[in-house]
Structures are given as C-alpha cells and as structure tokens.
C-alpha cells in the first residue's frame, strides 16, 4: 500500500547536523512532488520544504533557508532533509508528505530534539 516512513531523528546539540530520510512505498517519488512539514511540541503544523516532481524547483520556509536542504534518491525511492546548524527552535516532529495539491499521504513522523 502507499506508505511513507521517516527516520533519522534524534537528540542533537545546537549547531550540529542531522539528515532525515523518508522511504516511500506503493508509489514512485519521481512522479510526485514531496514536502517536509514539522510540528513543535504542543504546537500546530509548519511547512518546512518542498521539492517538485521533476526536481526543477525547491522551496524552503525562511527560517531554514541556507541551513536545510531537501533532496531525493530515486533509486532508493527516498526523500531526504539535510539539516545543518540546528537550533533549539528546530525541535519538532518532522513529517514527510506527498504533494498532490493537498498533502494526501503522510508518514508517522520522526522526532528531532535540539538541546545542549
């Protein structure tokens, strides 16, 4: 069935890096744009980054520009989010989602905690 599974979260000190992965099954990510969305503890949803289906376009929320990079590996049917120079305020559950107008398929999320 159509599914997304994130991994790569953890506890990291401010200024360090993490790379999140999102493995897709049941569909091919090369045919869809993809998103990363995060949710800080007890807060609402915040869009983070998107990649178009043809990788011609990349988008980032202002607070992560220059620090985060979205990418994908078609051979592994996997989406990535490279997060550098992490800040305390980046702590959140990070979800990947399929882009079909609305976000119709979501993963279960992976938790990132940035703390000294």
Partner 1 sequence: EIVMTQSPATLSVSPGDRVTLSCRASQNVNSNFAWFQQKPGQAPRLLISGAFNRATGIPARFSGSASGTEFTLTISSLQSEDFAVYYCQQYNNWPLTFGGGTKVEIK
Instruction: Write out the residues near partner 1 by the rule CB under 8 A.
Output: 35, 37, 44-47, 50, 59, 61-62, 95, 100-104, 106-109
**What distance in Å separates the CA atoms of residue 18 and residue 16, rounded to the nearest whole number?**
7
9/109 with CB nearer partner 1? 109
12/103 with CB nearer partner 1? 103
17/100 with CB nearer partner 1? 100
The contacts found for 53-61 with CB under 8 angstroms, 24 or more apart, are: 53/99
**What distance in Å separates the CA atoms of residue 90 and residue 78, rounded to the nearest whole number?**
22
80/95 with CB nearer partner 1? 95
Question: 């178009």: which residue's tokens?
Answer: 52
Q: At closest approach, how far in Å is the CB of 116 from partner 1?
A: 27
Q: At closest approach, how far in Å is the CB of 55 from partner 1?
A: 16
Q: At closest approach, how far in Å is the CB of 54 from partner 1?
A: 17
Q: At closest approach, how far in Å is the CB of 85 from partner 1?
A: 20
CA angle 96, 74, 97 (to 5 degrees): 15
Report CA 82 to chain centroid distance, whole Å: 9
């Amino acid at each position: 069935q159509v599914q997304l599974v994130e991994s790569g979260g953890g506890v990291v000190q401010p200024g360090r890096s993490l790379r999140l992965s999102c493995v897709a099954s049941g569909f091919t990510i090369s045919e869809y744009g993809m998103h990363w969305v995060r949710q800080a503890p007890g807060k609402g949803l915040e869009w983070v980054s998107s990649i178009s289906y043809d990788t011609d376009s990349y988008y980032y929320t202002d607070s992560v520009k220059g620090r985060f990079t979205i990418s994908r590996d078609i051979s592994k049917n996997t989406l990535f989010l490279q997060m550098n120079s992490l800040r305390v305020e980046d702590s959140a559950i990070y979800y990947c989602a399929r882009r079909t107008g609305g976000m119709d398929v979501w993963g279960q999320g992976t938790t990132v905690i940035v703390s000294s």
